[in-house]
Amino acid sequence: MIRCVIVDDESHPIEVLKHHLRQFDFFEVVTSTNDPLEALRVVNEDKIDLLFSDIQMPKMSGMDLARLVHGKTSIILTTAYSEFAAEGFDLEVIDYLLKPISKSRFLQAANRILKHLYKKEKSELGPETLDGDYIFVRTELKGRIIKINLVDVDYIEGMRNYIAINHDGQKTLALLNLKDLENRLPASFFVRIHKSYIVSFPKIRMVDGHRLYLYGREEGFPISDSYFSAVQDRLNGRLV
């Protein structure tokens, strides 16, 4: 779940953002307020993943607020004026949304949020990373071998006589079984959740009972009883 705070000195833009956020089940609005000092307090006292902040506000500008919370949470700036964009990106904000915020523009921002938070989660796993690690896969087409970077893999689905590797927005079919591939993958970054599924551990955004959800995908994956304890153990290792 991506925990959000929204601050704007006008109520209508807040409602627009809430409407857009409700289209995704992985956003949670912890607080929405017209007071930037209240938003600052919540970010300082709670675990907030993302701050949506208007720029022009009477008590404190969004730029000043972004400077104060920099490093504590990710930031998206909103405003009706485009001239602030360059300064906003100097503050390493994820995105800069011009009002009125359309559904299509917010979808772009949502994708940017997911990519940013995934990279952040991956960097927090420690010095061992998937960058540069890859496998060569013999596909269902005779003579065709494809290189797949492991950092791009979202999940792998086992089928009757082959597997489907979902990576970088595409699907590659390979003539091998799921167990053989599982033994080849780095255990720090992949976890078996079902007889038919292996998922990328850094790309897990939520576990709800026996359903697991990945960043960028609205549908969930089943966690079978035989793998549930192992999945819980992996999660408990990073539980706070």
Residue 18 has pLDDT above 90, yes or no: yes
- Predicted local confidence at residue 90, as pLDDT: 62
Tell me, yes or no, if the two domains 2-123 and 134-236 fold the same way. Answer: no
Q: What is the predicted pLDDT for the residue at 239?
A: 74
Distance of alpha carbon 165 from alpha carbon 158, whole angstroms: 9
Per mean pLDDT, which range of 7-16, 32-41, 79-88, 225-234 is the poorest?
A: 79-88
Q: How far is CA 182 from CA 60, 194, 222, in A?
A: 52, 12, 18
| Residue 54 φ then ψ, to 5° | -65, 155
pLDDT digits (tens, 9 = 90+) for 94-137: 998 999 999 999 988 988 888 787 666 655 555 455 556 888 98
- Range of lowest pLDDT (15-19, 102-106, 152-156, 184-188): 184-188
Which residue ranges make up each domain of the chain? 2-123, 134-236
Work out the pLDDT band at 80, boundaries 50, 70, 90: confident
The more confidently predicted of residues 18 and 129 is 18
Q: What is the mean pLDDT of the chain?
A: 87
Instruction: Please compute the mean of the pLDDT values over residues 196-210 and round it to a whole number.
Output: 92
Which element (helix H / strand E) includes 158? strand 153-158
Sheet (strand 204-208) strand order:
204-208, 211-214, 221-222
Is-cis flag, bond preceding 186, omega within 30? no
Q: What are phi and psi of 124, to 5 degrees?
A: -80, -5
Q: Which CATH class is domain 134-236?
A: mainly beta
Domain at 2-123, CATH homologous superfamily: Response regulator (3.40.50.2300)
Rounded Cα distance, 74 and 66, in Å: 9
Mean pLDDT of 39-50: 94
- Report yes or no on whether pTM surpasses 0.85: no
pLDDT at residue 225 greater than cutoff 90: yes
Determine the pLDDT at residue 180: 86
The overall longest dimension of the chain from CA atoms, in Å, is 66
